[in-house]
Amino acid sequence: MNMKELVERFPIQLEEALQIALSAKIKPTEIAIQNIVISGLGGSGIGGSIIADLLSDTLQIPVIINKNYAIPAFVGKNTLFIASSYSGNTEETLEATHKAIDEGAEVACITSGGKILQLAQENNYNFIQLPAGYPPRSCIGYSMVQLLALLSGYGFISKDILSQVKTSADLLRTNTTKIKTEAEKLAAFLYKKTPIIYTADGMEGVAVRFRQQLNENSKMLCWHHILPEMNHNELVGWVSKNDNLALVYLRSKQEYSRTSERFAFLDKAIQGFTPNRFTVSSIGNTALEEIFYLIHLTDLSSVLLADKNEVDAMDIAVIDRLKSHLATF
């Protein structure tokens, strides 16, 4: 399948991910977990960022997202360390996982195979195995749902949240035409422009996901920021007209009311500096449904934009060259 086909089957992926999650056997731990570290990079890691945002007002212990070879100094016997690597061979995640093991952390893994799977099987760690053979960035549904399964298996969240995965898939199917139409409009809007993505705190992971998809699929540079933080710095940077900048607002019903007022002020304040402003408003009855809606729509727009840019959305040759280069050291 090409990337467009992979993106279009996202509702199916969510249903498949749900079945994997419901079949997962997570062994409980007697350790008093005091913090959670989710370690992963790129397409394997962004799901952790989104889940951490989603559960920030639910979990009673801190969740740290780790995207490095190193691990935080606090990692120890009271840490749940989740290694998320689709291939199972991400070198940063592997090194961080070994360091977490050395510190006595409770380790759990989400992977399709590779060294991470071998490590989990040899040490009897909790793990959930994903279907193999896909680009990692096309498997965000698999990884996000399995993170929810792990956290519910350890007792940190209710397993009831998994029912929202099915309603999310239904929502996406019901709104297929709307999503495709909006994605086409968004792709046309961003064509030959530099995208800037603004969203509210709590949805930053979704904005980062869109930025990454524009990077990898559309082969475009862009940046993102969140409100209200953006109002305290980047807002001042809007001082000159630039018709090449294309501003995308990712809006959610989860926004705090005063943040919504900030969006309204922002749009008025910068309208003289760029005429290119586009709002993508989420739909759904839960935060998870809204998140999956925004992911699906923006993912689709990134592959449509790849077609407009006449680039191969699947191509990541430069990353492969980097991995080959690092293998010589």
Instruction: List the catalytic residues.
Output: 216, 232, 323
How far is the C-alpha of 216 from the C-alpha of 314, rounded, in Å? 8
DSSP H helices in the chain: 3-8, 10-23, 42-54, 91-102, 114-123, 140-153, 163-174, 176-190, 204-216, 257-270, 287-309, 317-326
How far is the C-alpha of 211 from the C-alpha of 275, rounded, in Å? 21
Residues 178 and 294 sit within 8 Å (Cβ to Cβ) = no
Residue carrying structure tokens 């990353």: 319
Phi, psi (5° rounding) for residue 2?
Answer: -85, 175
Helix (H, G, I), strand (E, B) or coil at 161: helix
How far is the C-alpha of 138 from the C-alpha of 136, rounded, in Å? 5
Q: Is the link from the previous residue into 195 a cis peptide, with omega within 30 of 0?
A: no
Q: What is the dihedral of CA 22, 27, 32, 38, to 10 degrees?
A: -60
How far is the C-alpha of 50 from the C-alpha of 104, rounded, in Å? 27
Query: In the structure encoding, which two tokens stand for residue 212, read together?
Result: 């990454």
Q: Which residues pair with 224 in a beta bridge?
A: 197
Query: In the structure encoding, which two tokens stand for residue 117, read together?
Result: 């799977």
